[in-house]
Amino acid sequence: MIATINNYQVDLSKPIDISIPLSNTDANPIAWYIDKPEIEPVRFGEWIGKVSSGMSSTNFNSILFNPHGHGTHTECLGHITRDFYSVNQSLKQFFFTAELVSIELEDHQGDFIVTKEALFSALEGKSPEAIVIRTLPNDTSKLSRKYSHTDPPFMTEGAALYLRESGIQHLLIDLPSVDKEKDEGKLLAHKAFWNVTDVHTLNSDARVEATITEMIYVPDAIPDGSYLLNLQIASFENDASPSKPILYSIRNN
């Protein structure tokens, strides 16, 4: 099915899903020192909400998970502010021009980082509404990686500032955080991208509508280039929501 969205022609029958499924298995990726998600049938006494138990006509599961630590999620600046901001209120549009770029991580004193220089070179002067960052090396272990206490790669403050100054509203990356795992709570990249100077009193030019999506996975077979992004979230009134970013190749007119 060919559709015109935001003046771009895309084939809706060929979505490119770059989210990681959430499951209650050991295959689920985990960050931030928590256990795997729990997906269990509801129990009332001896009754079990599961068809195979022979007690229920429906499967009736409860789910316990953390959006930041259990897979692909989209967050707003409420993630770092004293006052409450909801990603469900911040994200009001869902289709965006996007540029997929592959970035070689740079070794800086033992840390592997995404730099401003690498992003500048990859974007080649383009200013899309969203950027999708695939870090290299890239392999399928990102689908199930256990990140806690591993000091994963991260983005420098200068790189995040460059993206903000380029007018990019939505940042998607295949890391558990744009910031260093243990940084004494500085969160320099988050603050730079959202233009938050004081987490206690939000400045008037803070980017309330900008989002950061972390823990995506982009297979090597998907080429760098321009796409249309459909950024889907669940309607949680929370600073973050599990999300399902979908890319569509843009057809030539």
Domain count, the chain: 1
How much is the pLDDT for 251? 84
The pTM for the full model equals 0.96
- 111 located within any domain: yes
Sign, Cα dihedral of 99, 105, 109, 111: positive
Q: How far apart are CA 10 and CA 195, in angstroms?
A: 33
224: number of Cβ within 10 Å: 14
Q: How far apart are CA 114 and CA 122, in angstroms?
A: 12
100: number of Cβ within 10 Å: 23
Residue 131 forms beta bridges with which residues?
A: 99, 171
User: Model confidence at 32, in pLDDT bands (50, 70, 90)?
Assistant: very high
- 221 located within any domain: yes
- 27 located within any domain: no
Q: What CATH number is given to the structural domain containing 10?
A: 3.50.30.50
pLDDT reading at 253 higher than 60? no
Full domain range(s) for residue 223: 2-22+68-249
Amino acid at 44: F
Integer-rounded Cα radius of gyration of the chain? 19
* Mean pLDDT to the nearest integer, 204-220: 97
- 60 located within any domain: no
Q: What's the gap between Cα 169 and its chain centre?
A: 13
**Three-state DSSP class for 52?**
helix
